[in-house]
Structure 1
Amino acid sequence: MLTKKKGILTGLLVVMMLFVAGCGSKESASGDSKKSLYFIPIVDTGAYWNPMKKGAEDAAKELGYTLITKTSPSAEPSKKEKHIGFIKEATAKDVAGIAVAPIEKKAFKDSIKTAVDKGIPVITFDADLENEADRTAYVGTDNVSAGKELGKQAAEEMKAKGITGGSIAIVCVDVAQPTMIDREKGLKEGFEEVYGKDAANFKFLATIQDNDQPSESKKQLEGYISANKDLVTVFSLGSEGPDVGVMSALESQGKAGEILHYGFDYTDTWLKGIDDGRITAIVDQDAYQIGYQVIENLAKAVEGEKIDTTIPIDVKYVKAADLEAYGKEKSKIKTDTIESTEESK
């Protein structure tokens, strides 16, 4: 009988311990969610996205938050739906905050607004929604202004070279992506502002989309070069696919240094095209700083601090001759920033 009672008591103790442990794990999970931030870039690899992710990771670590990065490959067939799903997942988990680069302005509105209405701050970056009231803040470049700067600078240089007309090609990752739409809009505005009525002497060809696949942009641009003997300038609006594809097409068609090429964002890839003229100039965003500022401001919003609804990051215009020195300086600044962050801990 005594043994039987001891067995019952032992069983009750085990049940009570499991119950307490279960309660404890729920509280822990809840606590963890309130120190977790979802970071949803379009991709997290490449010369633009990789340093941005690094900046976000450094800021989260410094501020005591857990960063959960969610993304998908460039060629993911259901990419838009998948990323909207990441927002819904974060909202369901009641995380502290969400940072997302919207692939489309309208499609992402409802899921972002649902999170905001639930009290979860949402910062958009790289691209923004149509209505700023639907998110907490935007961090990044004004892509229309950045495109306009590139268009104006290119047009000034083309005029200086005596170029008075011809065809122009634009290459991007995705024609429906908000950043690409805004950059193209600004690019054409800046170009027309410089050339005035003479802008009518130029023809912008249908924009090439390569889904970040260099072989695709190379093939399409080679076709444009063959079909348009008056092609004078190519603009690549960001990401490694168009950068590599355009330079490869210019090389294969023997047009390096003859057809001007203006790019978007710094990458070491440009260094391969300086000597033979496969890159003319670029506008560059500080990707590391975008990532850092996104998380720094998201943390402020989480903690109840009022933040600006738009936190702009400026761009710089860099000519091909200055790219190597510029790249070294960017690398040094990023390294110094990381080291400074580590020393302050």
Structure 2
Amino acid sequence: MKKITKVVLVAMLFTLVALTGCSKGGDSAGGDKKKTLYFIPIVDTGAYWNPMKKGAEDAAKELGYTLVTKTSPSAEPSKKEKHIGFIKEATAKGVAGIAIAPIEKKAFVDPIKAAMDKKVPVITFDADLENKSDRTAYVGTDNVSAGKELGVQAAKEMKEKGITKGSIAIVCVDVAQPTMIDREKGLKEGFEEVYGSEAKNFKFLATIQDNDQPSESKKQLEGYISANKDLVTVFSLGSEGPDVGVMSAIESQGKSGKILHYGFDYTDTWLKGVSDGRITAIVDQDAYQIGYQVIENLVKAIKGETLEPTIPIDVKYVKAADLEAYGKEKSKIKTSETDK
């Protein structure tokens, strides 16, 4: 009888432990889906994406939600399909909310709308869809405006230097990525706004795509420099691949300080090109704040609050001479926010 009692007690104990284990770990352990959020950035490493992920994690923790980050490497062949699959996975699991950086404007519409039809709010960030009604809200930079700011400031500086004609190169990770499309659009608008009728004296070369591989952007830009002796300015529109590739090409072709280079987003990598003029200036987004605001607003939507269709995060224009001090200040801010 005592043996039977012990067996029953042991069985009950194992059952209790199993049940307790299932309640931990949120989504991955089969916990409360209504307290689980899916966060789907394009990648989650690098000077831009890493602090954004940190901001999202901090907000989720403070608000009592479990954050599940889903992404894939930059060079993933089926990246778009995988990220669409993450949205479908989250919808099928009935999570509380989804945050997604769409890789394309159109391909992500149907899975996002399917999630919203299931009463799962979806916030886009970093890049947006064409129609505001196809998502709950967008949090982040207005990439057309950010590109325009870069174009305006670069054109003003070029005019001050007496540059009245020449070829211009643009380098990005993926020419089909909404972020890059919008930045290039704004960049050209801002450039033409400043130069006016003189803008026709400049030639924008075909945009270089490197899939975040610096060796690729380096090789292609070296070819442009060799073939276009009048190349005066290069714009790199974001991510470490173009940043490194452009600076490497400018150095290898002996054009440091001769070809102007304007970038997007702060990274310590820029500091390597300040002294010899391989970077001229950048526009920078507050990546940590984007991540934080994405989750904070997603939770508001989950609780039934009505959000503004677009929740903007401003950019800052920073000249090369100010990059070191700016980077130190960003580091202090990020540290203080992380320690909250």
TM more than 0.5: yes
SS at match of 1:74: coil
Aligned to 1:45: 45
| Distance change in 2, residues 1:17/1:324 (3 Å) | closer
Q: Which moved more, 1:305-314 or 1:67-76?
A: 305-314
Aligned to 2:238: 238
**Aligned-partner Cα distance in 2 for 1:241–1:293:** 27
**Aligned-partner Cα distance in 2 for 1:273–1:155:** 21
**Aligned-partner Cα distance in 1 for 2:15–2:337:** 47
**Aligned-partner Cα distance in 1 for 2:84–2:177:** 14
**Aligned-partner Cα distance in 1 for 2:273–2:181:** 26
SS at match of 1:98: strand
TM-score, reference length from structure 2: 0.93
**One-letter amino acid of the structure 2 residue matched with residue 217 of structure 1:** S
1:32 partnered with 2:32? yes
Offset of 1:46 from its aligned partner?
A: 0.5
Q: Deviations over 1:111-142 (max 9, x none)?
A: 00000110000000000011111110100000
Aligned to 1:130: 130
Offset of 1:21 from its aligned partner?
A: 9.4
**Aligned-partner Cα distance in 2 for 1:61–1:280:** 39
1:256 partnered with 2:235? no
Offset of 1:12 from its aligned partner?
A: 11
Offset of 1:304 from its aligned partner?
A: 1.6
Query: Which sections of structure 2, spanning at least 5 residues, go unmatched?
Result: none
**One-letter amino acid of the structure 2 residue matched with residue 140 of structure 1:** G
Q: Deviations over 1:201-255 (max 9, x none)?
A: 0000000000000000000000000000000000000000000000000000000
Offset of 1:82 from its aligned partner?
A: 0.3
**Aligned-partner Cα distance in 2 for 1:26–1:233:** 57
**Aligned-partner Cα distance in 2 for 1:206–1:296:** 39
Match runs of 1:75-86 below 5 Å: 75-86=75-86
**Aligned-partner Cα distance in 2 for 1:291–1:174:** 22
SS at match of 2:71: coil
1:65 partnered with 2:73? no
| Distance change in 2, residues 1:303/1:198 (3 Å) | same
Q: Deviations over 1:176-207 (max 9, x none)?
A: 00000000000000000000000000000000
Q: Which moved more, 1:232-241 or 1:10-19?
A: 10-19
**Aligned-partner Cα distance in 2 for 1:30–1:172:** 39
Offset of 1:24 from its aligned partner?
A: 8.9
Offset of 1:277 from its aligned partner?
A: 0.1
State the number of aligned residues. Answer: 335
**One-letter amino acid of the structure 1 residue matched with residue 89 of structure 2:** E
Aligned to 2:157: 157
Q: Deviations over 1:296-325 (max 9, x none)?
A: 111111122222121000000000000000
Q: Deviations over 1:22-76 (max 9, x none)?
A: 9999898775211110000000001000000000011011111110000000000
Structure with the greater alpha carbon radius of gyration: 1
Aligned to 2:276: 276
**One-letter amino acid of the structure 1 residue matched with residue 183 of structure 2:** R
**Aligned-partner Cα distance in 2 for 1:289–1:315:** 11
**One-letter amino acid of the structure 2 residue matched with residue 252 of structure 1:** S
Aligned to 1:174: 174
**Aligned-partner Cα distance in 2 for 1:102–1:240:** 19
**Aligned-partner Cα distance in 2 for 1:31–1:69:** 16
SS at match of 1:34: helix
Aligned to 1:196: 196
SS at match of 1:325: helix
Query: Which sections of structure 1, spanning at least 5 residues, go unmatched?
Result: none
% identity of equivalent residues: 83
**Aligned-partner Cα distance in 1 for 2:15–2:67:** 30
SS at match of 2:32: helix
Runs of 4+ residues over 3 Å off in structure 1: 9-31
**One-letter amino acid of the structure 1 residue matched with residue 206 of structure 2:** A
Offset of 1:16 from its aligned partner?
A: 10
SS at match of 2:276: coil
**Aligned-partner Cα distance in 1 for 2:16–2:273:** 64
**Aligned-partner Cα distance in 2 for 1:89–1:254:** 50
Aligned to 2:309: 309
Q: CA RMSD in A?
A: 2.2
SS at match of 1:298: helix
**One-letter amino acid of the structure 2 residue matched with residue 164 of structure 1:** T
Aligned to 2:295: 295
